[in-house]
Structure 1
Amino acid sequence: MKQLTYPKSLLMQMPKRLLLLLPVLLLCSVQTSRAGAGTLNASLVSDTDSIITGADQTSEYLPLLQGKRVAILANPSSIIGQESLVDSLLALGVQVVKVFGPEHGFRGNASNGAQVGNEVDAKTGIPIISLYGKKKSPSAQDLADVDVFIFDIQDVGCRFYTYINVLRNAMQSCATNHKPFIVLDRPNPNGYLVDGPILDMRLKSGIGQFPVPISYGMTIGEFARMINGEGWMGKGLHCDLKVITLKNYTHQTRYTLPVAPSPNLNTQQSILLYPTLCLFEGTIISQGRGTHFPFTVLGAPLLKGKYDFSFTPKGIQGMSEHPLHENNTCYGLDLRDYPVDSLEASGQLHLQWLIDLYEAYPDKARFFDRSQSSQMGNFDYLAGNYDLKQQIIRHTPIEKIRASWEPGLNAFKKIRSKYLLYP
Structure 2
Amino acid sequence: MPFFLKFKSTILCLSICFLACGQKQKSSTNESNSISTEVSKKDILVGANQTQEYLPIITNKKIGIVANQTSVIFKKEGYTHLVDSLLSLQIQIKKVFSPEHGFRGKVDAGEKVKDGIDTQTGLQITSLYGKNRKPTQNQLKGLDLIIFDIQDVGVRFYTYIATLQYVMESCAEAEIPIVVLDRPNPNGHYVDGPTMRVEHTNFLGLQTIPLVYGMTIGEYATMINEENWLANETKAELKVITLANYSHESDYSIPIRPSPNLPNDQSINLYPSLGLFEGTNINAGRGTEFQFQRYGASFLDSTAFRFTFTPQPNFGSKYPKEKGLNCFGEDLSAYQKMDSISLQWIIKAYNNCNEKDKFFNTSGFTKHAGTEKLQAQIEAGLSEMEIKASWQTDLERFKLIRSKYLIY
Residue 286 of structure 2 corresponds to residue 289 of structure 1: yes
Contact 2:14 2:55 in 1 (8 A): no
Please point out which of 183, 189, 192 is paired with 1:195: 192
Q: 1:292 to 1:206 in 2, by over 3 A?
A: same
| Corresponding residue number in structure 1 for 2:54 | 61
CA shift in 2, pair 1:326/1:10, >3 Å: farther
The offset of 1:25, in angstroms, is 7.6
CA distance in structure 2 between the partners assigned to 1:134 and 1:27 by the alignment: 33
Matched, 1:12 2:16: yes
Aligned partner of residue 156 in structure 1, secondary structure: coil
d(CA) in 1 for partners of 2:23, 2:238: 33
Structure 2 residue runs without a partner (length 5+): 1-12, 30-39
**Counterpart Cα distance in 1 of 2:269 and 2:348:** 20
Q: How far, CA to CA, are the matches of 1:349 and 1:235 in structure 2?
A: 34
The Cα shift of 1:386 comes to 1.4
Distance 1:257 1:28, change over 3 A: same
**TM-score, with length taken from structure 1:** 0.86
Deviations 1:291-350 (A, max 9, x none): 12110001111233322211111112x40111100111111100011111xx22xxx211
Counterparts of 1:277 and 1:14 in 2: how far apart (Å)?
Answer: 40
In the alignment, the residues of structure 2 paired with residue 30 and residue 248 of structure 1 have an alpha-carbon distance, to the nearest angstrom, of: 31
Give 1:10 shift. Answer: 8.0
Task: Give the letter aligned to residue 131 of structure 1.
Answer: L
What is the CA–CA distance in structure 2 between the aligned matches of 1:112 and 1:209, rounded to whole Å? 18
Which residue of structure 2 lines up, in the alignment, with residue 384 of structure 1? Answer: 370
The whole-number CA distance in structure 2 between the counterparts of 1:248 and 1:184 is: 15
Distance 1:30 1:122, change over 3 A: farther
Match of 2:43 in 1: 50
Percent identity, please: 46
The 2-side partners of 1:96 and 1:236 are apart by 29
Q: 1:299 aligns with which of 296, 299, 302?
A: 296
Aligned to 1:164: 161
Which residues in structure 2 correspond to 1:94-133 (within 5 Å)? 94-133=91-130
Conserved in 2, the CA contact under 8 Å of 1:13 and 1:59?
A: no
Does the residue aligned with 1:310 lie in a helix, a strand or coil? strand
Contact 1:54 1:186 in 2 (8 A): yes
- Indicate the residue corresponding to 1:244 in structure 2: 241
- Shifted more, 204-213 versus 158-167: the winner is 204-213
Q: Structure 2 CA distance, aligned partners of 1:28 and 1:176?
A: 41
Letter in 2 for 1:364: K
Q: Is 199-208 or 171-180 further displaced after alignment?
A: 199-208
Correspondences of 1:2-401 after superposition (within 5 Å): 12-14=16-18, 22=21, 28=26, 50-81=43-74, 82-303=79-300, 304-316=302-314, 318-340=315-337, 343-344=338-339, 348-368=340-360, 371=361, 375=363, 378-401=364-387
1:344-393 CA distances to partner (integer Å, 9 max, x unpaired)? 2xxx211111111111112223221xx35xx5xx2122111111111111
Q: Is the 8 A contact 2:24 2:81 kept in 1?
A: no
* Conservation of the 8 A alpha-carbon contact between 2:172 and 2:236: yes
What secondary structure, in the 3-state scheme, does the structure 1 residue paired with 2:350 have? helix
Alignment partners' CA distance in 1, 2:407 and 2:231: 24
Runs of 4+ displaced beyond 6 Å: none
Asked if 2 retains the 8 angstrom alpha-carbon contact of 1:116 and 1:130, the reply is: yes
Deviations 1:15-37 (A, max 9, x none): 9xx6xxx5x98762599xxxxxx
Note the C-alpha offset of 1:398: 2.1
Corresponding letter in the other structure for 2:46: T
Inter-partner Cα distance in structure 1 for 2:18 and 2:206? 40
Contact 2:219 2:405 in 1 (8 A): yes
Partner of 1:36: none
Question: Secondary structure of 2:63's match?
Answer: strand
CA RMSD of superposed structures (Å): 2.0
Aligned amino acid, residue 355 of structure 1: I
Q: Which moved more, 1:212-221 or 1:192-201?
A: 192-201
Q: Secondary structure at the match of 2:224?
A: helix
1:3 match: none
Provide the aligned length of Structure 1 versus Structure 2.
381
How far 1:399 moved relative to its partner? Answer: 2.1
- Counterpart AA for 1:293: F
- Local SS of the residue matching 2:274: helix
Cα distance change, pair 49–291 in 1 and its aligned pair in 2 (3 A): farther
